[in-house]
Structure 1
Amino acid sequence: MRLDRFLSETTGMSRKEATRTLHRSEITINGDVVKKGAVHVPEDAVVEWNGTTLTLLGPTYIMFHKPVGCICANDDLSHVTVFSYLDLPNPEKFHTVGRLDLDTSGLLFVTNDGQWSHRITSPKHACEKVYRAQVSEPLLPEHVEAFKQGLKLHGEVALTQPAHLEIISAHEALVTLTEGRYHQVRRMFAAVGNKVETLHRESIGGVQLDTDLEPGEFRDLTAAEVAQLAG
């Protein structure tokens, strides 16, 4: 990899900024000052910027406990974003794996691996997602069958895929989906005459939200979790 590209990948600086930094003799490779951006960076080289070691970030997989009130976007002028909580180099290279709306909390993955995230979000893989919903009206046994048979959502023609509704109490349920339509859980409850008051995603593909993570906190996924989600 060229040195100027390496600097861009590791620091987020533009190629023009990288060139200026090099001309100021701020970059060393294995202790030697290098001023040319076209220089190749060996795989095992130690690159430093004013004494700070720069490291290329490989495929990265993050578990994030999304709080209510932040949105799944890299930038937004009106709301706090998921990436406001994450200390990532070059955040523009990362994306959320699917989305949770502003008023929904819970498990969210963030990655720079597009193939891995596609495996999770692609409808053909039917990755299960489990949500805990608090609703305004009492839950009824017939709702379980309605979710299982599929529901017609407002403005759509095709019924939802079969979903599992587990009633926990009169106003609380777990919903397991294998698809991800816009505001789907809220719209499914609306289709049976109910309203979601709070919604929290607990798991994706069998990987549970770490109970040690408070809202707004994150950690790297383990190798086993990454592999499990890759199928």
Structure 2
Amino acid sequence: MRLDKFLCDCSDLTRSLAGKLIRQGEVVVDGIVVKQPAFHINEQSQVEFDGVLLTLSQGNRYFMLHKPEGYVCSNEDPDHATVFQLLDEPAMGKLHVVGRLDLDTTGLVLVTDDGQWSHRITSPRHECAKTYRVWLADPVHSDAISLFADGVFLRNETDKTRPAQLELLGECEARLTIHEGKYHQVKRMFASIGNKVVGLHREQIGTLALDETLAPGEYRELTAEEIALF
């Protein structure tokens, strides 16, 4: 493998920046400074950059994060902190969020570098369920259960939402399971029946529930069994 490609694969560097750093003598291979980006290394080569021995991650990576309020689900944002600031992993630029949450929404977020895996979760064709705990400004009437089960029209939408399951937990509290991911869907569904969401927390994606031991801002790797759920 070329040295510049190896450096990119082990970091967030672009190919051009990796080449520049190599030419500046910032990379050491087997104890010797190498200044040729096209220099070929093998599996036994020991490559150091910034005094750190680099290794390629083996296979894809999968994480569960308990998203706190006030973070956006983007790799970069000029105005807000991003969920990636809560992670401490190599090659962060290769990771992406599987199904974003709003700035003020908390709960389960999945992060991976496996595009096919995330597509199986987010593609409308797979109808992967997402379950939310919802707090409302006004009491929720019991007829909302059948309304959501039949589907409701969202503002500026021509088709009804897919059938959703609503469970009333209190006068102004509910649990809602949807099978699609329209923009601000949960908030818009309750707006369609004249209510306002004042708190929103994602508890579950498919059959994968948020680990109760994770405090807001904490994350962990998924187990092999959890990865295989999707």
| TM-score higher than 0.5 | yes
Question: Please, which runs of 5 or more residues in structure 1 have no aligned partner?
Answer: none
1:38 matches 2:28: no
CA contact (8 A) 2:108 2:203 kept: yes
Give the secondary-structure state (helix, strand or coil) at the position aligned to 1:155: coil
Three-state SS of the structure 1 residue aligned to 2:87 is coil
Deviates more, 1:12-21 or 1:34-43: 12-21
What displacement does 1:139 show? 1.8
- In the alignment of these two chains, the number of paired residues is 229
**Residues 171-186 of structure 1: pairs in structure 2 closer than 5 A:** 171-186=172-187
Matched, 1:22 2:22: yes
Matches within 5 A, 1:102-117: 102-117=103-118
Normalising by structure 2, we get a TM-score of 0.91
SS of 2:166's partner is strand
Q: Which runs of 5+ in 2 are unaligned?
A: none
For 1:193 and 1:9, locate their aligned partners in 2 and report how far apart those are by CA, in whole Å: 50
Instruction: Decide which moves more: 29-38 or 103-112.
Output: 29-38
The answer as to 2:99 corresponding to 1:98 is yes
Determine helix, strand or coil for the equivalent of 1:11: coil
User: Bigger CA drift: 211-220 or 199-208?
Assistant: 211-220
Calculate the TM-score normalised by the size of structure 1.
0.91
Partner deviation per Cα, 1:12-34 (whole Å, 9 max, x = no partner)? 33444434543455534455554
Q: What is the alpha-carbon distance in structure 2 between the residues aligned to residue 65 and residue 116 of structure 1? A: 20
Aligned to 2:191: 190
Give, as a single letter, the amino acid of the residue that structure 2 aligns with 1:39. Answer: F
- 1:91-130 residue CA offsets vs partner (Å, 9 max, x unmatched): 3322111111111100001111111111100011111110
CA change 1:10–1:171 in 2 (3 A) is same
Q: Retained in 1: the 8 A contact 2:129–2:179?
A: yes
Give secondary structure in 1 for the equivalent of 2:228.
Answer: helix
Structural mapping, 1:68-217, within 5 Å: 68-217=69-218
Aligned equivalents of 2:15, 2:142: Cα separation in 1: 61
